[in-house]
Structure 1
């Protein structure tokens, strides 16, 4: 059965804060084409809503996001085709918002899910959060800015170790490395994220948005060439991309991830 956009991404307004929740728990919130489309659409809607001052992105337990849906990827690669969508800037999973986007990481954030997390302005993590980059295991390359944003957050050596090994990093190690700003008990995650978002919403909003834009402009001289280099590498790799190859590796990738995430 095809995904229904009204079910796979939940939207809730908490005063001036818009909360978006991945809702494919049986698939560990894996990114189908429909979910990618829904996420982009709802983020754009939140950005256009003048009553919304901040956005929180989280997932329905047990995972935050397990990356692109390997079943769809192995069948026709349709969800990977959306990575380099012309409607979003190179190296971004969506058109960047003018408002703060907080990632509330409730569980595993893997590969494309890690890229989604990295595209948020900052992250707050549950003590159940786990992070991994398994692009090398799956046989695809990042296209949403991971090779710039991950080393920018944790340093080049730590980033390369994550990407080349595919091993998981737990919440405590992610905090020490600088990937997340705070780790809280799982049951406190959303309240904590809402409290921070509400504090942001209580500030002068033109000032908040201008300051956020300034942060982003100050990064552009480094980020833009790096994002384009990643995109060129990914596009070249995709010329020989085989969905069948991913299908063959899917069971092994899932099994190794489950073994490490226990």
Structure 2
């Protein structure tokens, strides 16, 4: 059975975790296939955006396969190699990554969702951090990212209880951008990704780096980094290109209005 499905259509890649009978749990084999799929997408310059989702409607992913974990230990799960660690494979993606959270995202699955640049969810989506209950500390960034995304107090509540966070509240807290009925989640994700394909891929890479690098720094250092990148980049932009793109923006606005 193929544990990870990869589809490429019209500039958009979709990676689907395909172990629905096991809540799309992240076994070693699935993690390896997921990292390989990410490498495939990274190497394909025709792809402008990536969607990550889970098969079925029950689970995005329930996280690491605890049965396998109990038998063989963590192994390479906590390494920082994009060839074996799916969170780092997604983090190194030069194009936008949209997490279409179709069901539960638990512990390692929560961490995988946090590795996506943009998260949208179905009404079936629920998030939970059960690291404390399992007795394993996060190794994929959740302990640092979650408080930055939803605030320190809310992150502490989730992590110190293991309680579920429903999709509606996740949206109110800013963890996900939008919530859809289950049958509308993938059409919405594809529409969002397709919109991104109309932006130059190389520019998306530069802009994503600006945002993500700045997010990891304090404001002053982030502003300095933006200045460092933008001065030489903008100096190479011709006024003719700016004008043609300005006209394209006006035309796009007219079409959206109509």
Q: Same fold (TM over 0.5)?
A: yes
Give the equivalent residue in structure 2 for 1:177.
173
Alpha-carbon distance between aligned partners in 2 of 1:11 and 1:178, rounded to the nearest angstrom: 28
Give the equivalent residue in structure 2 for 1:20.
15
Structure 1: gaps spanning 5 or more residues: 223-262
1:86 CA drift (Å): 4.5
Deviations 1:187-244 (A, max 9, x none): 000000000000001112222111101011112336xxxxxxxxxxxxxxxxxxxxxx
Secondary structure of the residue that 1:143 maps to in structure 2? coil
Deviations 1:93-148 (A, max 9, x none): 42511011100000000000000000000101001100000011111110000011
Alpha-carbon distance between aligned partners in 1 of 2:87 and 2:182, rounded to the nearest angstrom: 28
Alpha-carbon distance between aligned partners in 2 of 1:52 and 1:64, rounded to the nearest angstrom: 23
Aligned residues: 215
Q: 1:41 aligns with which of 19, 29, 36?
A: 36
Matches within 5 A, 1:86-235: 86-88=80-82, 92-94=87-89, 96-221=92-217
Secondary structure of the residue that 2:77 maps to in structure 1? coil
Q: 1:85 aligns with which of 79, 94, 104?
A: 79
Alpha-carbon distance between aligned partners in 2 of 1:74 and 1:186, rounded to the nearest angstrom: 33
Which portions of structure 1, spanning 4 or more consecutive aligned residues, are displaced by more than 3 angstroms?
88-93
Alpha-carbon distance between aligned partners in 2 of 1:133 and 1:49, rounded to the nearest angstrom: 34
When Rg is computed on C-alpha atoms for both structures, the one with the higher figure is 2
Alpha-carbon distance between aligned partners in 2 of 1:193 and 1:91, rounded to the nearest angstrom: 20
For the Cα contact (< 8 Å) 1:57–1:104, is it kept in 2?
A: yes
Relative to structure 1, the CA distance from residue 147 to residue 86 in structure 2 (aligned partners, 3 Å threshold; closer, same or farther) is closer
State the TM-score, normalized to the length of structure 1.
0.79
Higher RCO, Cα 8 Å, sep 6+: 1
Secondary structure of the residue that 1:180 maps to in structure 2? coil
1:91 CA drift (Å): 11
State the TM-score, normalized to the length of structure 2.
0.80
Alpha-carbon distance between aligned partners in 1 of 2:15 and 2:170, rounded to the nearest angstrom: 23
1:82 CA drift (Å): 2.3
Relative to structure 1, the CA distance from residue 92 to residue 58 in structure 2 (aligned partners, 3 Å threshold; closer, same or farther) is closer
Q: 1:69 aligns with which of 65, 70, 80?
A: 65
Relative to structure 1, the CA distance from residue 119 to residue 158 in structure 2 (aligned partners, 3 Å threshold; closer, same or farther) is same
